[in-house]
Chain A
Amino acid sequence: MSDNREFFYRRLHSLLGVIPVGIFLTQHLIVNNFARYGAESFNRAAAFMENLPFRYFLEVFVIFLPLLFHAIYGVYIAFTAKNNVSRFGFFRNWMFYLQRITGIITLIFVVWHTWETRIATAINGTEVNFALMQGILDNPFMLTFYIVGVVSAVFHFANGLWSFAVSWGITVTPRSQVVFTYITLFVFVALSYISVSTLLTFATTQG
């Protein structure tokens, strides 16, 4: 990363994590929660999302490319750090470390999840619906994998919001940073609840 592009890339990485990827993540988790109102509700919501105008354009420019850049540059950033939580066990240092670990877990999960529910289904012409997710999450191993993956992504996003606020100079004082820690903690708990309850609905519905 020569020619003084690093500042630009870093800020782009930070921005893309929230807009659009973080917003997409939040939207995705909330819409999926329709599963709790029953298979029909979920299928209607999924069909609505699938039939959005400009679908491919939106998928490529709002999800795929921003996420691809954030993920590739994120892996580079993650591997430039020499984590030292054993020597410096401070709260923020743990968050720094977890931000990197959850980034890697999220990457593995997202690649698998995209393959399974978007690419493979498109190739095979399988319908993406309640029954598909039910089939996947019926397996306790896959359910665990999904819970770990989704909670990692949510943690990464929530803690990422905190560091986004510092990276852009929004929260400058220690006090504002502490208050924002509580706010992002709330985001983490709320999105975790929304997403895990969805997963458990799929896993526990008989059929």
Chain B
Amino acid sequence: MSEGKTVTLIIKRQDGPDSTPYTEEFKIPYRENMNVISALMEIRRNPVNAKGENTTPVQWEMGCLEEVCGACSMNINGKPRQACTALIDQLEQPIRLEPMSTFPVVRDLAVDRTRMFDSLKRVKAWIPIDGTYDLGPGPRMAESKRQWAYELSKCMTCGVCLEACPNVNSNSNFIGPAPLSQVRLFNAHPTGAFHKKERMETIMGDGGLANCGNSQNCVQSCPKGIPLTTSIAALNREATAQSFKNFFGSDYNV
């Protein structure tokens, strides 16, 4: 066993949404195969900082613990990623934990990602299957297309791509890469395509697609390997066609 070995964490903390942030250092006993979540749990079990003072336990969010829910996203040594898959052995120490800066802080490392869920509503990121009568089975989808769509459907709304994007910030109302890629996903579905024009209209509005400046940080940072920049370029093509249809008129535009 690794007796006496410790892990050092420097955590940016904030007591509430409007309080001033401060940093606090922690030294916790090392165990094998720790990840950032288990380190935070250790602090919660024994909330004493590196100076030996009693403190409040650090607040964070988590759900699945297997990188599918996105709740535990935070900046770890400056990079936005999931705390549950950030292994202590692979991190340089001291490990710096900060809340993602793109979202309002709730407390300590927990942020409020409401803007992402609102964006999904704005772009109608769903398949319309409800009616006043039984609509029957939808059209079939080719297996190859289903597999293609599956890759796009892996998005867990974690917010990492928004954090990485230089154009998503307090000066801009850019919706960000994740909801854009969801537009591509739902437009590609045979039934989802019922809302295609409305989705295009939304992302061709203010704060939409056109705000992308092609830094391509999103595709490099997405933990799910979603081809975000391919989605954005594909939507750009669709938007070009849509704007021509809108202006010149087209019977395929209804």
Contact = CB atoms under 8 A, between A and B. Distances in A.
Interface string B230-249: 10111111111001000000
Interface string B199-213: 000001111111111
Given A163-B214, A166-B214, A172-B234, A7 B166 contact: no
Contact of A169 (B79, B206, B216, B236): B236
Nearest to A11: B210
A169 B167 contact: no
Contacts of B221: 88
A96 B207 contact: no
Contacts of B234: 169, 172
Given A82-B166, A172-B233, A174-B230, A93 B216 contact: yes
Given A7-B205, A10-B210, A93-B215, A174 B239 contact: no
A83 B205 CA distance: 24
Given A4-B206, A80-B171, A172-B234, A10 B79 contact: no
A77 interface: yes
B206 A6 contact: yes
A182 to B, nearest CB: 16
Interface in B137-175: 164, 166-167, 169, 171-172
Nearest to B174: A80
B78 interface: yes
B205 A93 contact: no
A4 B205 contact: yes
Contacts of A2: 206
Contacts of B167: 80-81
A7 B206 CA distance: 7
Chain B interface residue bracket vs A: 35 or more
B8 interface: no
Interface in A145-166: 162-163, 166
B187 interface: no
Interface in B20-38: none
A170 B237 CA distance: 7
Contact of B213 (A3, A5, A77, A79): A77
Q: List 6 A-B pairs, minimum CB-CB distance, nearest first.
A: A169-B237, A10-B210, A96-B215, A92-B216, A169-B236, A172-B233
24 contacts: A4-B204, A4-B205, A5-B206, A6-B206, A7-B243, A11-B210, A79-B171, A87-B79, A88-B215, A90-B215, A93-B216, A95-B214, A96-B214, A163-B214, A166-B229, A166-B232, A167-B210, A168-B240, A169-B237, A170-B237, A171-B233, A172-B230, A172-B233, A174-B229
Interface of B: 78-79, 164, 166-167, 169, 171-172, 204-217, 220-221, 227, 229-230, 232-240, 243
Given A169-B234, A172-B234, 7 more contacts: A6-B210, A80-B172, A82-B169, A84-B217, A88-B215, A163-B213, A167-B214
